[in-house]
Chains A and B, each alone.
Chain A
Amino acid sequence: MIRYVFRRLALMIPIIIGVTVLVFTIIWFTPGDAAEVLAGNAPREQVEELRRLMGLDRPYIVQLGDYLYNVFIRHDFGKALVNKTSISADIVMRFPKSLIFAVFGILISVFAGIPLGVYAALHQNKTGDSLATAFSLLFVSTPGFWLALMLVLLFAYRLGWLPPYGMGGVEYWIMPVLANCFHGVAIITRQTRSSMLEVIRSDFVVMARSKGLSEGEVIVRHALPNALIPIIAVAGMNFGGMLGGGLIIEKVFSIPGIGNYLVTAVGQRDFTAVMGGVIITSLFFSLVMLAADLGMAFVDPRVKEQYSTARRRK
């Protein structure tokens, strides 16, 4: 098991390098660069000069090699091209905000989505189930940023209960977290409902009933642990998504998190800033995926066995 974790961690190295190369290449081929943004309406010669100073005129492969060398050998993300700030410092300051944001989002998604899904499955085709299904269908298909704007309209402008944007106490977090987690709640509700429906029909659940366990014991001890496996996978994906996907929502609420940072950096064609944010986000995404896989192994001994047979084979 430990060996498996280390193997997975080692596998993350090529993944992160791959992501870096890919994103770098995409930015390279995107029209416009930081020099143009900085120079504004300056004449062509000045822009060329600036470009040369920033090293943006060198060939693709040289710049890529240079960047990879700096990041992976010297462990330095460099300075932002436009704002001249240290990217590492920027990320250290902003990432925790995004992380808190995503952690609250996923916690709410899990603790609301699972009970809702279980309820729906146990009352299949009754009113409660229809409501839960309609709710999840609605919010699975609602984009987060639209929901965010609607929340601002209602709670900030119409009712005046909550501040529309910015940072501060708990009241500033309520709307962003809600806007970010509704999608997650909906997805987890759907997943829980369908995997519970599959499980509660199975023989071992009927056998658990035949042992004289109460309905609650049957659900909590037998049905839910079996239904949990796909739910963990979905929750992991969702958490990863919230980490980076809070992007637009952070922008809407002006939360100085990594998403907001990325959106600004992309607008400024500031490739070092974009790269730094993307690398950190993909690193955490990989870690979350690993955690989800380990969670599955924890719940399901069959999955766990796969990991340890890999070790036995050597």
Chain B
Amino acid sequence: MSQDTFLSVRGLTVEYVTKYETVQAVNGVCLDLSKGQTLGLVGETGAGKTTIARAVTRILQSPPAAVRGGEIFLDGVDLLKLPEREMCHMRGNRISMIFQDPMTALNPVMCVGNQIAEVIRKHDHVSAAAARQQAEMSLELVGIPAQRYGEYPHQFSGGMKQRVVIAAALACGPDLLLADEPTTALDVTIQAQMLDMMHRLHDLKETSTVIITHDMGVVAEMCDYVAVIYAGEIVEYGALEDVFDHAAHPYTVGLFAAIPSMWEDVARLTPIPGQPPDPTALPVGCKFSPRCAYMDGECGARPVEMKTVGPGHTCRCLR
């Protein structure tokens, strides 16, 4: 952990426990993020990306979720040891989260303005009128006219709802923003607008950001660092250029190979063969080994450690 590390996740392990099975969603994830930087969490559906973000904000539904181990330091404070009352002061104030699906993330029976003003009132202890004024400014900031303060989510388009979600997340000027697939539910033109807007807001507020996505384009656009997640583990971690230009893990290589090229005419996409492992019965060794072209006897035998492949660039592979 270096001196200017702002968010530090150490060995985070989360399971979903039901009567019949235990899903190992996150298995000993370690992450570091400095102030003002942006980290991309990349991985396919079910890899545990959202679970990591929700564990950091401590909003996992428990049961079934259970944090089995690890530490999450924000500015030196272990969030997992914080009493719930103090955690409430953190949420929405110092840490906030942008939800994946704008269609369901807003309360349908509360006007959008109040959904933003509510965060401000909670944390800034200002009068209702002042909170309203600030909420109107937040709306303007994301490009929604303040007159629409009193309207309800069903009167907004998907893109506008997502902007309201973002306005609510940024209303208190958080130090850490967790954006859970902020663009997945939007169409491409709105995606571009949204990324553009997040860029501007990021420059404005100097917020450390974690962007969860499975879109490599978003990562290239937004991030300083990339962590590739596979079956609840980070398999590759490094600066954007290192991971993009010198991908070391076979899974990362496969991900890039699966992106259709702009310059070549291909009839078929190149998928990674096979399926992600069953999270209720993960392989002992390398989780990717059953799908890996380079697999040999060593890979499946015991857990693989992260190995440095370049300055600040690590990879969980024996090769």
Q: Tell which of B59, B110, B154, B155 touches A210, judged by Cβ atoms closer than 8 Å.
A: B59
Which of A10-18, A110-118, A167-175, A198-206 has 4 or more CB atoms under 8 Å from chain B? A198-206
Q: Which of A207, A217, A301, A302 has the most CB of B within 10 A?
A: A207
- On whether the beta carbons of A209 and B59 are closer than 8 Å, the reply is yes
Which of A34-42, A60-68, A220-228 has 4 or more CB atoms under 8 Å from chain B? A220-228
**Quick one: given A211-B122, A213-B118, A299-B109, are A203 and B104 in contact (CB under 8 Å)?**
yes
- A201 to chain B: which residues have CB within 8 Å? 61
- A207 to chain B: which residues have CB within 8 Å? 97, 99, 105-106, 165, 168
Contact with A along B100-118 (1 / 0, CB 8 A): 1100111111110000001
- On whether the beta carbons of A210 and B109 are closer than 8 Å, the reply is no
- On whether the beta carbons of A300 and B92 are closer than 8 Å, the reply is no
A312 to chain B: closest CB distance in Å? 14
B63 to chain A: closest CB distance in Å? 9
**Quick one: given A201-B61, A203-B101, are A211 and B152 in contact (CB under 8 Å)?**
no
Number of interface residues of A (CB under 8 A): 23
User: What is the chain A residue whose CB lies nearest that of B178?
Assistant: A210
- Flag whether A208 is at the interface (Cβ < 8 A): yes
- Flag whether B93 is at the interface (Cβ < 8 A): yes
User: What is the chain B residue whose CB lies nearest that of A200?
Assistant: B61
- A204 to chain B: which residues have CB within 8 Å? 104-108
A299 to chain B: closest CB distance in Å? 6
User: What is the chain A residue whose CB lies nearest that of B111?
Assistant: A301
User: What is the chain B residue whose CB lies nearest that of A206?
Assistant: B59
- On whether the beta carbons of B109 and A226 are closer than 8 Å, the reply is yes
Q: Tell which of A203, A209, A217, A225 touches B110, judged by Cβ atoms closer than 8 Å.
A: A225
User: What is the chain B residue whose CB lies nearest that of A214?
Assistant: B88
- B119 to chain A: which residues have CB within 8 Å? 211-212
Contact with B along A83-97 (1 / 0, CB 8 A): 000000000000000
Q: Tell which of B54, B92, B154 touches A211, judged by Cβ atoms closer than 8 Å.
A: B92
Q: Which of A214, A221, A301 has the most CB of B within 10 A?
A: A301
User: What is the chain B residue whose CB lies nearest that of A201?
Assistant: B61
- Flag whether A57 is at the interface (Cβ < 8 A): no
A304 to chain B: closest CB distance in Å? 9
- On whether the beta carbons of A213 and B88 are closer than 8 Å, the reply is yes
How many pairs of A and B residues are in contact by the CB < 8 Å rule?
Answer: 78
- Flag whether A305 is at the interface (Cβ < 8 A): yes
- Flag whether B13 is at the interface (Cβ < 8 A): no
- On whether the beta carbons of A209 and B91 are closer than 8 Å, the reply is yes
CA distance A209 to B107 in the complex (A): 12
- On whether the beta carbons of A300 and B108 are closer than 8 Å, the reply is yes
- On whether the beta carbons of A301 and B88 are closer than 8 Å, the reply is no
Kindly identify, within residues 63 to 122 of chain B, every residue whose CB is under 8 Å from any CB belonging to chain A.
Answer: 88-93, 96-97, 99-101, 104-111, 118-119, 122
User: What is the chain B residue whose CB lies nearest that of A204?
Assistant: B107
- A213 to chain B: which residues have CB within 8 Å? 88, 92, 118, 122
- A221 to chain B: which residues have CB within 8 Å? 110, 118
CA distance A225 to B109 in the complex (A): 7
- B57 to chain A: which residues have CB within 8 Å? 210
A196 to chain B: closest CB distance in Å? 14
B109 to chain A: closest CB distance in Å? 5
- B93 to chain A: which residues have CB within 8 Å? 212
Q: Tell which of B90, B99, B107 touches A222, judged by Cβ atoms closer than 8 Å.
A: B107
- Flag whether B202 is at the interface (Cβ < 8 A): no
User: What is the chain A residue whose CB lies nearest that of B90?
Assistant: A212
User: What is the chain B residue whose CB lies nearest that of A223?
Assistant: B107
- On whether the beta carbons of B154 and A222 are closer than 8 Å, the reply is no
- Flag whether B123 is at the interface (Cβ < 8 A): yes
Give me 19 A-to-B residue pairs in the complex whose CB atoms sit less than 8 angstroms apart, sorted by A's number.
A203-B105, A204-B104, A204-B105, A210-B57, A210-B92, A211-B96, A211-B118, A211-B122, A212-B88, A212-B92, A212-B119, A212-B122, A222-B107, A225-B110, A300-B108, A301-B111, A301-B154, A302-B152, A305-B155
